[in-house]
Each structure stands twice: as C-alpha cells, then as structure tokens.
Amino acid sequence: MNEKIAVLGAGAWGTTLANLMAEKKYRVVLWGRNPERMQHMRATRENERLLPGVELSSRLELSSELRSTVEEASCIIAAVPCQYLRSVLERVEPFVPSRPSVVCASKGIELTSLKPMSAVVAEALGDKDPLYAVLSGPSFAEEVSQGHPTAVSLGCENPSLAEELQQVLSTERFRVYTNEDRVGVELGGAIKNVMALATGIADGLGFGQNARAGLITRGLAEMARLGVALGGRRDTFMGLSGIGDLVLTCTGSLSRNRRVGLRLGGGESLEEIMSGMQSVAEGIKTAEALHRLGARLGVELPVTEQVHAILYQEKDPRLAVRELMSRELKPE
C-alpha cells in the first residue's frame, strides 16, 4: 500500500481515524463536504464542533474537493453517514484508482435498498473492483481521539488484505482484530444502534437497570437472529462488533442513539430531538430499514418493531414496553 489514505467524512469518527493514520506518518487527506468548516479546521487544527480540544496532526491534509482527496489513494476510509454513502461514492467514482482498498466505517442499512454498506460500495464503485473491509466495534470517537485504549474488529473476507489493513490501522492504543465474517461484523455495527435507542427509551422512562439488562440481552438475540439469516456467523455476535459494541452503545453516556432514546422516553417528539442535533444518530433510519428487512425475510424482531412504532407511528413508549413484556411466554 502506498502512503496516501483518503478519508471521506469529517465527522467525529472520520476525523479521529484520519488523525490516527496521520500520526503514523501516512499521507492522509480528510474530506468534508462543507468548505467553510474544512477551512476553519485547517486554520485551527481542530474539529472544535465535534472533537473540541483534540489537536489535529500537522501532517493531516484537509479538503472539501473530492477529486484531489481520492486521486492516487490506495486506501479509502468511508466514514460518511450511511444514508449518504452511495451518493458520495458515486460522485467520487470517476477519480478513484482501480482496485482500491475500501474500509467502511459507517454503520447502518441503506433505507432505499435495504442493503448493507458492502453492497452499496460494490454497486457505487463496481467498475473499480474495490477490495472491501468494514471497521466496527466498541469505539466512541471522543475516547479514541483522547488516546484511551480501544479494541475493534475489521471484517474482511480477504486474509491478505485484512492483515495489511490491520497493520495500517493499529496503534499502541487502537487494537484491530481481523474477522473473516464480514457480514456479521457489518450487521452487528448496524443493529446495535437500534438497541441503543430501545435502552435509552427504557432509561428515560425510569425503568431501571433490570430493564436495561433485559433489553441488551434480548437485543443481542435479535441481532444474531437477523445476522445469521443474512449469512453471518452466530459467534461473531459474541465478539467486539456484536456484544462489545452493543453494550457500549446501550450504556455509554457518549452514545448519540442512547441520548435520543433518553429524550424520547422523557416525552420529547422525534421532530423536536432531530431539529437540534449536530450529528447523525444512525439508529433512527436503521430502525426503519430493519423493520422492512425483517418483514421481507420473515425474521422476528420484537424490540426493533417497538422502536420503529415509537419513532414513526407516535406510539407511547410505555405501551411499547408493556407489549414487549406481555408477549407470549416461551423458552429463552
């Protein structure tokens, strides 16, 4: 791999990953869609809106031009919100070198197609024959950027590519494990956001730690059920990209999806919450995508269904919890 890495998406996670690689002395170009914001980051060497106090490496290049960002880059890290990934890749495709390594750091299911990000990348960059991997696991950007120890999974079906990217991405405090079950790693990262909404709602209602633990555990069962139906391995969901990411997102104070759930449980409407948000909570759109995907596959997703009803049908969260608790009794 040559030294140039292109990172698409100057949110908290994209900025963090770009900064990590720049500190390892790779040539890294971080792209953001807002020219004024990128100019401000260039002048201050800080993403003060999303990562205040984190100094950006002097080696990190900042750009709002897609062509100059990806030209001659052997590795592209995609960290734009998942519902916008296809449009960004379609714009950048004419400038992408052939057979690039694409690491997807976006987590979700595309709403219009009900496809995971791997399929979106393959369709948007198909003529360039991309080599695909997905990065997922318990990793709040703020903590990674502050140098706190973090372990994640790299889902990749190509062993040699996985080992190469593992070396590129790993640092002394950011440990990357490889996993050949790309499907499982990818789906775990998407589904956990919906479960974080559910646990946030329960916490917002004041239902206590028993309810939270029950939702996390049943959410894991739901995650594995859908993941296996789509070709993932059940044991993957016992790892970093499954239970690890699920626990962090459902309990951590930095979780955007949990914070949205807390506010829903506290009586605010989705419209009120979204009007004041500076960053995307992927679980909102993913809940709708999973609702439709579960119906298509005939996979039972009771927690997801109740979250979807709260978000899109204005269902009373207390009624949703009551219906979950009163479902037909059955073996675990």
C-alpha to C-alpha distance for 257 and 252, rounded to whole angstroms: 10
4, 107, 128, 192: the catalytic one is 192
Neighbours of 257 (CB within 10 A): 26
Own/partner contacts of 171-176, CB < 8 Å, gap of 24 or more, are 171/20, 171/23, 171/24, 173/144, 173/147, 173/148, 173/149, 174/20, 174/144, 174/150, 175/149, 175/150, 175/151, 176/135, 176/151, 176/152
Neighbours of 141 (CB within 10 A): 24
C-alpha to C-alpha distance for 280 and 302, rounded to whole angstroms: 24
The residues pairing with 152 across neighbouring beta strands, listed in sequence order, are 176
- Is the distance from CB of 219 to CB of 303 less than 8 angstroms? yes
Angle between helices 283-297 and 208-229 (to 10 degrees): 50
Burial class from Cβ neighbours inside 10 Å (0-12, 13-18, 19+) for residue 70 reads buried
C-alpha to C-alpha distance for 306 and 33, rounded to whole angstroms: 35
3-state helix, strand, coil in the chain (%, to 5): 55, 15, 35
Alpha-carbon distances of 228 from 222, 231, 312, rounded to whole Å = 10, 5, 27
* Amino acid letter for position 104: C
192 is catalytic: yes
- Is the distance from CB of 248 to CB of 142 less than 8 angstroms? no
What residues are annotated to the active site?
Answer: 192
